Amino acid sequence: MFELWVEKYRPKRLKDIVGQDEVIEALTGFVEKRSMPHLLFAGPAGTGKTTTALALANEIYGSEELVSANYMELNASDERGIDTIRVKIKDFAKTKALGEVPFKIIHLDEADNLTSDAQQALRRIMEMYSSNVRFILACNYSSKIIDPIQSRCAVFRFNPLTDDAIIKRLSYIAEQEKIQIGDDGFKAIAYVAEGDLRKAINILQTAFAVAKGKISPEIVYKISGLAMPEEVNDIIRLALEGQFLEARTSVRNLMINYGISAEDLVRQLHRQILQYDGIDDVKKAEIVSYIGEIDFRLAEGGNGDIQISALLSKIASIGRGSHASVG
Amino acid sequence: MLPWVEKYRPKRLKDIVGQNEAIEQIMKWIEDVRAGKKVKPLLIYGPAGTGKTTAAYAIANELGYDIVEINCADLRDKEKLNRVLGGLGSFSLIEESPRIILFDEVDALPAEGKTISSLLKEILSRGDMPVVMTANDVYEKHMYGIRNLADTVEFKKLGVRDIVKVLSKIATMEKVNLPEEAIKKIASGSDGDLRSAINDLQSLAEGSADLVNYYGKIFGQRDREADIFRVLGSVFSGKYCTRTRFLTSTLDMDQDMFMRWIEENLPIAIKDPPSLSLAYEYVSLADIFRSRIVRTGNWKLMTYINEFLTLGVCSAKSLSKSSGFVKFKFPSIIKELASTKEERAELKDVLRKIAKNTHTSSNVVRKEILPLIAALCKRNKDLMRKIARDIGVEEDQLESIIESIKI
């Protein structure tokens, strides 16, 4: 997939990774000694966790062939549960490492998406194969990883990249690809990327593919609001006007046909409500408090479309100025 | 007259549709058998009607072996099991062509499941008969032992396109004249089960079912509606609410479905926003309780779900001023989810494949990478072809997904 700049410009060596100097220094030591403990990489999206794991494997194994034989990547949120993960790990781990290498590496991404029961099972799996396999677990929040796993790993924190670091990397890519983009364009990308370099590079390339000529801040904002702010605003307007059925139909359409997740939709509704002109602050505050409640219910495992419909009916009711409540 | 599922059952592995990866894996296994290597039992698993048993027979055919089929649903009592064991033991006394043993539906075995493991181990220790097993689900707990002993091969649900292809071919061979629409309808209604699709095709063609009847079967559940309408009528009457909680006990419907019926009809029966919002709050709570029960296994909480959906919703209606005749509707979201199931499954599959190739998750792909690929490919069909090849999906599959993205 070298058509994608995130792949094309992914650093191959540890020293080329930007913005994580302390982490890189420590890991370089592991490469020199050709020995390492299990690792836990914690940090927000797009800060270099996967790239670092890949670069580490590259430097330890030395050749592409050995990397593909001895390095396996799994994504916890894309696998069918801990049982499938166990089977894959087992199949990979039980064969001897290929070539003159000290151990195999399994990189398990989004490990914090595993339930604590699944993490307990993972802990046992880690122990079972620790003689010839090192695990690199990656997560957004290390607090969501159970203590027994944390205590078996060396924990490394990845910081969100500064706007300057992001713009520096974007400028390099822009130069290589001969893109027309000014300071305002770079700043806009850094603003919407919020410290996520992968997102920044994806936006840069998408903007380049869409823009005819120079990349303007307008294009950048348009692309990054991919769940279409106008549609979200329409839904809010419909609900406030009491056209509940129409609002519910739009929500279902976004979720079923466009695959937008309930969590993302709630986040967007939240953002748009705060900017919405047609309602006073008292109502805004009340709606926001209910959005928070629905966000929590979703995290508890609620059904996306039911919970968001409940939210819409609340917005409709608050919009009218009078409402009943359960509590 | 021979059932078409038998008549058109593929004899060769290469004629089995829609399972390319699995067939490749099986071919390797066959080569090992041919080379006289000691092989693990082959465990073919996947949904019904995807070709598992057909594959087992085709394997025997490719090898030129006889096949001994043992249906595991018959092995439930000890006596039969012993008879089978005894029977197998006698095989080695007679010199004849080599055999392959097929254990069909191993997941139908009783949960204690030790019997099959010991049987398997015995056969394996003799090492002279290759074993093939089929199962629907191998991730059930009691399948753990068997799964570990075997080489697993996954058969996937068939896509609508593949099923349409097979049905059209059979229709031509049988000189059946059916509109393309009907064939598509059968295919999409079969939920990836080719056997049921072929059976439906045959019953349609032989006039044992007419089209109207057929569509009725898919969208039907008519006998159920009479009941649910009565319950909805009481709940949305807004009267005697405490009593409505008993109504669901005679309703032949699971609680999730009942929740969908209530939710669909809330905004039709209750118009004023405050009451509607209150009613929705109860449905939202019912939904959350459902999830809590699943997570904690605390089934006592079930009673609250029922009361939220009946007493709660009814009480909200009692506050509402709206009245008049209400025509209740079937939960449209169920239909929508069912009719877009195929597309959503395809999208999920493509997202995962791209995720594997970009070291990310399907979530990131959906949000960042798919829009980018769409932007790149809309101007450049060659690039689309290349990307489709790189990630291992059909061109038209990727194209239809890209077209659905606005950029």
From residue B365, give the alpha-carbon distance in Å to each of A67, A160, B165.
24, 20, 31
Name the class of domain A229-319: mainly alpha
Nearest C-alpha in B relative to A220: B407
Q: How many CB pairs under 8 A join A and B?
A: 162
Identify which of A110, A210, A320 has the shortest CB distance to residue B361. Answer: A110
Phi-psi region of B17 (alpha: psi -120 to 50; beta: other; left: phi over 0): beta
Task: Inform me whether the pLDDT recorded for B177 exceeds 80.
Answer: no
Identify which of A81, A309, A316 has the shortest CB distance to residue B273. Answer: A316
Top-confidence residue, B282 or B245? B282
Tokens representing A290? 């209910």
Identify which of A198, A199, A316 has the shortest CB distance to residue B276. Answer: A316
Which residues in chain A are classed under CATH 3.40.50.300? 5-157
- CATH number of the structural domain A5-157: 3.40.50.300
What is the reported pLDDT for A202?
Answer: 94
Tokens representing B20? 């390319």
Hey, are the CB atoms on A307 and B282 less than 8 Å from each other? no
| Chain-centroid distance, C-alpha A271 | 19
Task: Inform me whether the pLDDT recorded for B16 exceeds 70.
Answer: yes
Count CA atoms within 13 Å of residue A143 on its CB side. Answer: 1
Q: Which of B46-60, B100-114, B287-301 is most confident?
A: B46-60
Q: Which residue(s) pair with A136 in the sheet?
A: A39, A107
Closest-CA distance, A52 to chain B, in angstroms, reads: 12
Task: Average the pLDDT over each of B28-37, B125-134, B215-224, B316-325 and give the range with the smallest value.
Answer: B215-224
By C-alpha distance, which of A52, A61, A65, A59 is closest to A109? A52
Which residues in chain A are classed under CATH 1.10.8.60? 163-224
For residue A301, say whether it is annotated as part of any ligand binding site: no
Hey, are the CB atoms on A50 and B340 less than 8 Å from each other? no
Question: Are A109 and A138 within 8 A, CB to CB?
Answer: yes
Separation CA A188–CA A200 (nearest Å): 10
Name the band, by pLDDT with cuts 50, 70 and 90, for residue B213. Answer: very low
Closest-CA distance, B125 to chain A, in angstroms, reads: 22
Write down the pTM of the prediction: 0.53
By C-alpha distance, which of B291, B304, B305, B298 is closest to B258? B305
Hey, are the CB atoms on A326 and B281 less than 8 Å from each other? yes
B357-367 pLDDT per residue, tens:
888 988 888 88
Where are any strands of DSSP class E within chain A? 38-42, 71-75, 104-109, 133-139, 153-157
Nearest C-alpha in B relative to A75: B361
Hey, are the CB atoms on B282 and A109 less than 8 Å from each other? no
B135-162 pLDDT per residue, tens:
888 777 777 777 888 889 999 989 989 9
What is the reported pLDDT for B19?
Answer: 92
Contact list in A for residue B276 (CB cut-off 8 A) is: 244, 313, 316-317
H or E segment at B69?
strand B66-71
Contact list in B for residue A80 (CB cut-off 8 A) is: 139
What is the reported pLDDT for A12?
Answer: 92
Give mean pLDDT, residues B55-73.
85
Hey, are the CB atoms on B344 and A256 less than 8 Å from each other? yes
Closest-CA distance, B137 to chain A, in angstroms, reads: 12
What is the reported pLDDT for A278?
Answer: 84
From residue B89, give the alpha-carbon distance in Å to each of B65, B74, B78, B86, B401.
18, 19, 17, 5, 55
Task: Inform me whether the pLDDT recorded for B212 exceeds 50.
Answer: no
Nearest C-alpha in A relative to B388: A1
For residue A209, say whether it is annotated as part of any ligand binding site: no
Contact list in B for residue A314 (CB cut-off 8 A) is: 277, 280-281
Contact list in B for residue A309 (CB cut-off 8 A) is: 263, 280
| Chain-centroid distance, C-alpha A114 | 15
Question: Are A300 and B284 within 8 A, CB to CB?
Answer: no
Rg of chain B taking only CA atoms, in angstroms: 27
Give mean pLDDT, residues B24-38.
90
Q: Was domain A163-224 assigned CATH 1.20.1250.20?
A: no
Hey, are the CB atoms on B280 and A314 less than 8 Å from each other? yes
Closest-CA distance, B250 to chain A, in angstroms, reads: 25
Task: Inform me whether the pLDDT recorded for B90 exceeds 60.
Answer: no
Closest-CA distance, B384 to chain A, in angstroms, reads: 11
What is the distance in angstroms between the CA of the first residue and the CA of the last residue of chain A?
53
Name the band, by pLDDT with cuts 50, 70 and 90, for residue B96. Answer: low
Tens-digit pLDDT string for chain A (327 aa): 778 999 999 999 999 998 898 899 989 999 998 889 999 999 999 999 999 999 999 999 998 889 989 999 999 888 877 888 888 888 898 887 778 888 999 999 999 988 888 888 888 888 888 888 999 999 998 888 999 899 898 999 999 999 999 999 999 999 999 999 999 999 989 988 889 999 999 999 999 988 878 998 878 876 765 456 678 889 999 999 989 999 999 998 888 776 678 888 898 899 889 888 888 888 999 999 999 999 999 988 889 989 999 999 999 999 886 444 554
ipTM of the complex in this document: 0.71
Hey, are the CB atoms on B361 and A77 less than 8 Å from each other? yes
What is the reported pLDDT for B99?
Answer: 81
Separation CA A26–CA B230 (nearest Å): 69
Residue from A303, A307, A311 whose CB has the most chain B CBs within 10 Å, to mutate: A303
Question: Are B369 and A4 within 8 A, CB to CB?
Answer: yes
Name the band, by pLDDT with cuts 50, 70 and 90, for residue B44. Answer: very high
Hey, are the CB atoms on B273 and A320 less than 8 Å from each other? yes
Name the band, by pLDDT with cuts 50, 70 and 90, for residue B406. Answer: low
From residue B115, give the alpha-carbon distance in Å to each of B39, B78, B84, B205.
21, 9, 12, 44
Hey, are the CB atoms on B379 and A309 less than 8 Å from each other? no
Hey, are the CB atoms on B319 and A324 less than 8 Å from each other? yes
Tokens representing A163? 């706007």
Which residues in chain A are classed under CATH 1.20.272.10? 229-319
B125-134 pLDDT per residue, tens:
666 788 899 9
Contact list in B for residue A316 (CB cut-off 8 A) is: 273, 276-277
Name the band, by pLDDT with cuts 50, 70 and 90, for residue B79. Answer: low
| Contact partners, residue B93, CB within 8 Å, separation at least 6 | none
